Structure 1
Amino acid sequence: MIKIAILFLFIFQMMTNPIFAEENQNPNQERYALYKKTEAITQIPWYYLAAIDQYERVIHQDDRIISISFPDSEWYGVTNINKDHSEIAINLHNGMGIDGNADGLIDPNDPEDQLYTLAYYLSRYGITELQIQEALWQYYQRPLAVKTIKQNAKIYRTFQTIELNQRAFPIPKHFNYSYKSTWGDARGFGGRRIHEGTDIFADYGTPVRATTYGTVEIKGWNRFGGWRIGIRDLNNVYHYYAHLSGFEGNIKIGDIVEPGDVIGYVGSTGYGPPGTSGKFPPHLHYGMYKDNGENQWAFDPYPSLRRAERQ
């Protein structure tokens, strides 16, 4: 019994040890706490801080707790060639870095300094959504970057969490469907081109579901894809659902969706003017396009579909 008690005491001490706790803490919980703390101090909405941080994390493939970064010349000041972290030095050289946790240092790798500096930059334009979007435009000078951050902020605000990693297969499991990898296959309509997606064959009227949390960016007719809908997710990936027979309810551009939400129905529309249908068997064309902050390109969605199907 004594040995068992000693063992439990050892486990308890390990679990409460700060180092052990830090290694096992969910990083999203730490991020969320930092967003909320910075919001309380600066009045910049936490969901905008989260959206900017997520955008930067994906663009730079940065796994730090906070992925926001500024050029050294802006953080330290152009004339601060030694990159002195002290508050006196950065203020002297007109750097934009700010000490967010009052430790006397302004560290570009300190999560609180990173967030507070970002929040202060945004607050120079104001704390309303329009003012924050103006600040984002001045910083990124790219419409898609501003739109993506704005949309992601709305997603976080809607669900009040950043734990939004669930995925869904686009066809409900109790419906018949079949698919294989069709990435790169030749297509002839509209000129020689390759197939940028995966075709999932199913009966007319089979429900089509959103595969991720995201925002409806496009809805309507495309002469290649027929009735189609486009949704951008939190990882800067645009999901393209095409050849639909129709859309679900009153779904519209700007709506927020979550995995499993029905967005439309399988059809065979496309390859002509609005209303063209029946030029091929009914199926869902599902495409995925990645944005890296400068360009957007298609990639093979088949592996993602297989993972979602297994889940």
Structure 2
Amino acid sequence: MSYKRYYLFIFLILGIISLVQPASAEEEKNIYEERLSLYKKTEALTQIPWYYIAAIDQYERQVQKGLEDDQLISIKIPEELWYGIGNSSQKKDTQIINLFSGKGKDGNDDKLADPNDPEDILYTMANLILEYGQTEEDIRIGIWNYYKRDLAVHTIKNTAKVFKKFQDINLTDRDFPVAINYNYSYRNTWGDRRGFGGNRIHEGTDIFADYGTPVKSTTYGVVELKGWNLYGGWRIGIRDIYNIYHYYAHLSGYEDEVKVGQIVKPGDILGSVGSTGYGPPGTSGKFPPHLHYGMYKDNGYSEWSFDPYPYLKKWERMARNK
């Protein structure tokens, strides 16, 4: 075989391998860049800040079922709202949609309002919000009138705050919830029985460590709750940009700057390991010091606990490889 034929053969083999490999990190980065470009274009057309548009899309990405991993835009506006009641043939012509009082808009000047076109979807959603005004308060009122759910408004507002602060939507870093240079141990304790306060299941993983071991944020998010709880003692709740609530309990104390409404990122210190809880404020020492770490998912209708252990194992590996 000649050198030319040999190198051609190698080139073809490498090309075939590239076709069957899963999406690369570069491809994943590109979809974030494409989304951000669309959000900013919609902002230019409507003056609705891009980070609110991005936060709405992010919220829908978490609550919609059956989405493809590489779906560019996840917002799905109900057909009767898009086309208008009476437009049974679902004509996409903007004049016909307007005739039937539909809300679908043309975001790319092709004279059509297509509920499967990313630009049309974002432009339409932004205009639904614009019906209530352009101020921050107007935007939140518009979001509430669309979703009719306080938690949806709260989640979208906080996600928008995170996107605005970091000027990015590709926020995929994570960290382990206790400092890995300290001694600690844990196993899967989610679902175990608990007796204090009546029979109930354990909604988290216990990470045992010495008093004072730093407790860290695992994710990008906003501090939603801080204070005493009968079961959890001194605790903190953070809602992240994936509509997941992260619950840290039994702390011995808080980092000085931590407050409700604060934006956090992976690795930010929240407080330290303790053994508080199972009694009135200040109760401590009824069990060995540990961090109770719980995760709760919201699907747009209800919120439930799920097992954090597999995520902790993954984030622990990520932290050790930094």
- Relative to the length of structure 2, the TM-score reads 0.89
Measured in 1, the distance between the counterparts of 2:252 and 2:289 equals: 9
**CA displacement, residues 77-106 of structure 1 (integer Å, 9 cap, x when unaligned):** 111101111122212211100010011221
Confirm whether residue 260 of structure 1 aligns to residue 271 of structure 2: no
Confirm whether residue 44 of structure 1 aligns to residue 48 of structure 2: yes
Q: Which amino acid aligns with 2:114?
A: D
Measured in 1, the distance between the counterparts of 2:243 and 2:206 equals: 22
Matches within 5 A, 1:96-245: 96-245=103-252
Measured in 2, the distance between the counterparts of 1:40 and 1:75 equals: 22
Please report the RMSD computed on the Cα atoms of aligned residues, expressed in angstroms. Answer: 2.1
Q: How many residues align?
A: 301
In the alignment, which of 59, 76, 82 is matched to residue 63 of structure 2?
59
SS at match of 1:219: strand
Confirm whether residue 27 of structure 1 aligns to residue 34 of structure 2: no
Q: Which amino acid aligns with 2:38?
A: L
Measured in 2, the distance between the counterparts of 1:212 and 1:24 equals: 23
SS at match of 2:138: helix
**CA displacement, residues 25-79 of structure 1 (integer Å, 9 cap, x when unaligned):** 7211110000011111111000000000000111004342111121111101111
Q: Which amino acid aligns with 2:62?
A: V
In the alignment, which of 75, 98, 101 is matched to residue 94 of structure 1?
101
In structure 2, the partner of 1:19 is: none
Confirm whether residue 274 of structure 1 aligns to residue 278 of structure 2: no
Q: Which amino acid aligns with 1:215?
A: V
Measured in 2, the distance between the counterparts of 1:261 and 1:233 equals: 14
SS at match of 2:246: strand
**CA displacement, residues 155-208 of structure 1 (integer Å, 9 cap, x when unaligned):** 000000001011100112211000000111111111111111000000000000
Q: Which amino acid aligns with 1:80?
A: N
SS at match of 1:235: coil
Measured in 2, the distance between the counterparts of 1:309 and 1:65 equals: 30
Measured in 2, the distance between the counterparts of 1:287 and 1:91 equals: 48
SS at match of 2:133: coil
In structure 2, the partner of 1:18 is: none
Distance apart, 1:137 and its partner CA = 1.1
Measured in 2, the distance between the counterparts of 1:208 and 1:228 equals: 11
Measured in 2, the distance between the counterparts of 1:144 and 1:186 equals: 29
Q: Which amino acid aligns with 1:101?
A: N
SS at match of 1:284: strand
Distance apart, 1:2 and its partner CA = 8.1
Q: Which amino acid aligns with 2:225?
A: I
In structure 1, the partner of 2:18 is: none
Measured in 1, the distance between the counterparts of 2:257 and 2:101 equals: 51
Query: Which shifted more, 139-148 or 200-209?
Result: 139-148
- Relative to the length of structure 1, the TM-score reads 0.92
Measured in 1, the distance between the counterparts of 2:80 and 2:149 equals: 21
Q: Which amino acid aligns with 1:32?
A: L
In structure 2, the partner of 1:294 is: 301
| Structure 1 runs of 4+ with >6 Å offset | 1-5
In structure 1, the partner of 2:20 is: none
Unaligned ranges ≥5, structure 1:
12-22
Measured in 2, the distance between the counterparts of 1:2 and 1:77 equals: 63
Measured in 1, the distance between the counterparts of 2:245 and 2:39 equals: 26
